[in-house]
Structure formats: structure tokens, C-alpha cells
């Protein structure tokens, strides 16, 4: 308690300092800006003389007096950071009860490797990813560039799923396709050089790009199955590869994810069997909408009652353990290694 109070006191002090300093710090560039109002904006703004590091001079903590237009990077930075605080306020309003669920320990069910692309986020796959998705992002959704993080998720956190998600329109895959890496800096090049693509069969540019995206996901799954083969064979880990398609390049609908590989299997009928098996609520259903978390009335018909998830709606086939067993047996039938004994 004492340390909590100490932290609170320290935070309050920081806030007070920040509030007090805001004006003082802001007034300095403001005064300079006013002083140099007749000079061109470029002479007022801090100079960036290096490719990455600039001059090494200290930058202002509150540099927004330098803003010259709504498109000015400083104006964009101010807007973004303002939205961060507003969005975080809304997030914090979830309340202590929600955070208490995972305050001391994380228990994610999936290690997810996806691309850093700003159009690809957990919102596409999970409305409430907290404590459920151990997320790793890098350019081209690669395992080799993040081996430590991937091992941490799979072997230390014991997530039963390793989920690799590529996406259509991936710039990293495009760069690998075109092979013009020399224009890129060494650190970027070194992250792309593991990205190996097979010879593409599609002639249309977009179709070839989508083909390359799928091929990369399958390569990553193959790498994972090789690396974590023991876990996969013991049924402790399921490696799934999918493509998130916000461009509808795969023709399944914009925004859809398509599963393209499971444990090294990529045949369409096997993907279909897998999707059938996972399409009804499983015994470990954990997802909840944000509205539910806030305690707001659910808009869903047949929402989960106190006894657990409700059954499927009319017309849907009810899930049974046999379906999953059958689908998994089907998936494993092509694997040469012995099937693990079922656990009870
Ligand atoms: Zn990408």
C-alpha cells in the first residue's frame, strides 16, 4: 500500500509538474516562433541534418508552437497523441474488475505473428484481445525475425495456438517479390532477407501478389511446424496460417480472413474441415464483446447465459466433440508421424 501511495504521489507530482511546465516549455518555442515570424518556416523548425539522427540537439518536450499547417508533422503528432489520451480514457473506463482478471498473470490462448502494417490489427480477429492474444508484429509476419518472442509465447506462456496472419497488399512481400532490396537500409534489408518466395504462377500483378502473400504464410507455418514439431505432434500446439484480406484480392469478401494452412496442411478440403470444426462454440469460449465487459445489455440474440454459451442458432449444426475429433483425425491422417494418444 505504501508503495502504491508512493507511486500515486509521484504520479501526481509529475502531473503537477507537467501542468506547470506546459506553459513554461511551450512559451519558449512560442517566443522564438514569434521572434522569427518573418522568416520562412524552415528556418524556424528544428533542422534535421542526418539521415536518421539529426543534429543530436535536445528536442522540445512540447514542440507544438512550431506547427505551421494542419498537415505539419507536429500538428499530426499533436492530434494523434491527443486521441491516444482520449481513447485511453475510454479504455480505462472498463474498470478495475476487467483489469483485475489479468492484473497479475497473463494467460493468452494464442501467440499471433502478423505484419506491422497499420491496416492489420487485432480488431480484425478479436474484439477483446487482452490476455488472450500474445501479439508479435514485424514486417512480413515472419517467425525468424522474432524467434525469441515466438518461443516465449509458445514455450513459456504455453499458448495452444500459434497463428500466423499475412495480409493482402503486404509491402514487405512485394519488396521480396521485386527483389529490389538494395534501396533499403541495412536493418530493413536484414529483416526482409528471410522472406523467400517460390516461383509464382499467377500472371496478373495483384493475383501474383496475393499468391506470394499466401506462400509466405505457408513458409512461416512450415518453419513453425519444423521448430515446434514435438508440441504439434503431442497436440499441445496448433499452428494456423491465414491471410487477412481487406482488399478482397482473394475474392472471399473484403475484411475476411482465410485460413490457408493448418500444421503444414494446405489442401482446400482440409481447410474446410478445420473451419467446420471451429465454427461452433467450443468448450473454452472466452470471447466477450466490449459492451458485455462494460456491463451493457448485449445486442446479441441468444447471448451466453450463466451456464455458458448458448447453442447455435436455427439452421446451424450443433458442435459435438466428435466433429472436432473427426476433423483433427482427418487433418492428421496425412501426417506421417504417429497420432498422439487422446487425453482424458
Ligand atoms: Zn505487410
How does DSSP assign 177-225, residue by residue?
A: HHT-GGGS-HHHHHHHTT---PPP---SHHHHHHHHHHHHHHHHHHHHH
How far is CA 228 from each of CA 2, 3, 194, rounded to the nearest angstrom? 45, 42, 19
Say which residue, 185 or 58, is predicted with more confidence: 185
Using the mean position of ligand 1's atoms as its centre, give its distance from the Cα of residue 220 in Å: 14
pLDDT band with cut points at 50, 70 and 90 for residue 327 = low
pLDDT band with cut points at 50, 70 and 90 for residue 330 = low
Give the model's pLDDT for residue 36.
46
Using the mean position of ligand 1's atoms as its centre, give its distance from the Cα of residue 293 in Å: 31
138: helix, strand or coil:
strand
Using the mean position of ligand 1's atoms as its centre, give its distance from the Cα of residue 186 in Å: 18
Give the model's pLDDT for residue 301.
40
Using the mean position of ligand 1's atoms as its centre, give its distance from the Cα of residue 172 in Å: 5
Using the mean position of ligand 1's atoms as its centre, give its distance from the Cα of residue 116 in Å: 6
Q: What does the chain come to in residues? A: 344
Most confident of 6-10, 190-194, 237-241, 292-296: 237-241
* Span of 14-18, 96-100, 181-185 with lowest mean pLDDT: 14-18
CA distance 336 to 16: 66
Per-residue b or e along 259-290, where b marks 16 or more CB atoms closer than 10 Å to that residue's CB: bbbbbbbbeeebbebbeebbebbeeeeeeeee
Which of 210, 205, 202, 194 has its CA nearest to residue 113? Answer: 194
Using the mean position of ligand 1's atoms as its centre, give its distance from the Cα of residue 245 in Å: 11
Q: What does the block give as the cell for 307?
A: 451456464
Using the mean position of ligand 1's atoms as its centre, give its distance from the Cα of residue 241 in Å: 14
Using the mean position of ligand 1's atoms as its centre, give its distance from the Cα of residue 140 in Å: 5
> Residues 67-122: pLDDT tens digits?
889 899 999 999 999 999 999 999 999 999 999 999 999 999 999 999 999 999 99
Residue 251, phi-psi category: left (phi > 0), alpha (psi -120 to 50), beta (remainder): left
CA distance 326 to 273: 9
> Quick one: three-class SS letters along 212-251?
HHHHHHHHHHHHHHHHCHHHHHCCCCEEEEEEEECCCCCC
Give the model's pLDDT for residue 223.
97
Using the mean position of ligand 1's atoms as its centre, give its distance from the Cα of residue 142 in Å: 10
Which of 152, 120, 147, 276 has its CA nearest to residue 224? Answer: 147
Using the mean position of ligand 1's atoms as its centre, give its distance from the Cα of residue 137 in Å: 10
* Mean pLDDT, residues 317-337 taken together: 50
Using the mean position of ligand 1's atoms as its centre, give its distance from the Cα of residue 270 in Å: 26
* Span of 44-53, 129-138, 257-266, 319-328 with lowest mean pLDDT: 319-328
Superfamily of domain 107-266: Carbonic anhydrase (3.40.1050.10)
Using the mean position of ligand 1's atoms as its centre, give its distance from the Cα of residue 225 in Å: 22
Using the mean position of ligand 1's atoms as its centre, give its distance from the Cα of residue 113 in Å: 11
Q: What share of the chain is helix, strand, coil (3-state, %, to 5)?
A: 45, 10, 45
* Domain locations along the chain: 107-266
Using the mean position of ligand 1's atoms as its centre, give its distance from the Cα of residue 302 in Å: 37
CB-count burial class (<10 Å; 0-12, 13-18, 19+) for 143? buried
Using the mean position of ligand 1's atoms as its centre, give its distance from the Cα of residue 168 in Å: 8
Using the mean position of ligand 1's atoms as its centre, give its distance from the Cα of residue 316 in Å: 35
Using the mean position of ligand 1's atoms as its centre, give its distance from the Cα of residue 215 in Å: 13
Using the mean position of ligand 1's atoms as its centre, give its distance from the Cα of residue 248 in Å: 15
pLDDT band with cut points at 50, 70 and 90 for residue 283 = confident
> Residues 225-249: pLDDT tens digits?
999 999 999 999 999 999 999 999 9
User: Is 13 a residue whose pLDDT tops 50?
Assistant: no
Say which residue, 293 or 106, is predicted with more confidence: 106
Using the mean position of ligand 1's atoms as its centre, give its distance from the Cα of residue 169 in Å: 7
Determine contact, residues 161/110, Cβ cutoff 8 Å.
yes
CA distance 321 to 63: 60
Pairing of strands 133-138, 256-262: unpaired
Say which residue, 147 or 332, is predicted with more confidence: 147
Neighbours of 247 (CB within 10 A): 15
Give the model's pLDDT for residue 63.
86
Question: What value does the mean pLDDT of the chain take?
Answer: 79
User: Is 66 a residue whose pLDDT tops 70?
Assistant: yes
Using the mean position of ligand 1's atoms as its centre, give its distance from the Cα of residue 139 in Å: 6
CA distance 85 to 91: 10
* Mean pLDDT, residues 202-224 taken together: 96
Q: What does the block give as the cell for 162?
A: 500459434
Using the mean position of ligand 1's atoms as its centre, give its distance from the Cα of residue 13 in Å: 42
CA distance 339 to 182: 46
**What percentage of the chain has pLDDT greater than the value 90?**
58
Amino acid at each position: 500500500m505504501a508503495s502504491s501511495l508512493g507511486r500515486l504521489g509521484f504520479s501526481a507530482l509529475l502531473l503537477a509538474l507537467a501542468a506547470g511546465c506546459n506553459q513554461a516549455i511551450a512559451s519558449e518555442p512560442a517566443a522564438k516562433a514569434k521572434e522569427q515570424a518573418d522568416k520562412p518556416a524552415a528556418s524556424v523548425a528544428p533542422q534535421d541534418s542526418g539521415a536518421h539522427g539529426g543534429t543530436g540537439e535536445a528536442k522540445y518536450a512540447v514542440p507544438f508552437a512550431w506547427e505551421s499547417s494542419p498537415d505539419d508533422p507536429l500538428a499530426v503528432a499533436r492530434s494523434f497523441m491527443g486521441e491516444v489520451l482520449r481513447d485511453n480514457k475510454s479504455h480505462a473506463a472498463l474498470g478495475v474488475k476487467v483489469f483485475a482478471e489479468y492484473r497479475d498473470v497473463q494467460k493468452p490462448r494464442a501467440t499471433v505473428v502478423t505484419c506491422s502494417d497499420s491496416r492489420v490489427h487485432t480488431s480484425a480477429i478479436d474484439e477483446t484481445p487482452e490476455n488472450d492474444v500474445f501479439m508479435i508484429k514485424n514486417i512480413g509476419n515472419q517467425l525468424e525475425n522474432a524467434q525469441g518472442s515466438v518461443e516465449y509465447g509458445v514455450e513459456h506462456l504455453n499458448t495452444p495456438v500459434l497463428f500466423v496472419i499475412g495480409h493482402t497488399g503486404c509491402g514487405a512481400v512485394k519488396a521480396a517479390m521485386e527483389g529490389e532490396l538494395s534501396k533499403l537500409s541495412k536493418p530493413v534489408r536484414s529483416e526482409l532477407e528471410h522472406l523467400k518466395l517460390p516461383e509464382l504462377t499467377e500472371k496478373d500483378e495483384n493475383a501474383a501478389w496475393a499468391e506470394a502473400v499466401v506462400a509466405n504464410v505457408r513458409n512461416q507455418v512450415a518453419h513453425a511446424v519444423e521448430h515446434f514439431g514435438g508440441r504439434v505432434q503431442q497436440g499441445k500446439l496448433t499452428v494456423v496460417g491465414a491471410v487477412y484480406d481487406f482488399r478482397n484480392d482473394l475474392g472471399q469478401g473484403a475484411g475476411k480472413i482465410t485460413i490457408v494452412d493448418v500444421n503444414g496442411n494446405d489442401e482446400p478440403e482440409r481447410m474446410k474441415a478445420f473451419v467446420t470444426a471451429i465454427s461452433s462454440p467450443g468448450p473454452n469460449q472466452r470471447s466477450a464483446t466490449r459492451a458485455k465487459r462494460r456491463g451493457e445489455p448485449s445486442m446479441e440474440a441468444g447471448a451466453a447465459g450463466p451456464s455458458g454459451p448458448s447453442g447455435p442458432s436455427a439452421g446451424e449444426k450443433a458442435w459435438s466433440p466428435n466433429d472436432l475429433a473427426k476433423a483433427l483425425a482427418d487433418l492428421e491422417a496425412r501426417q506421417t508421424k504417429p497420432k498422439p494418444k487422446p487425453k482424458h
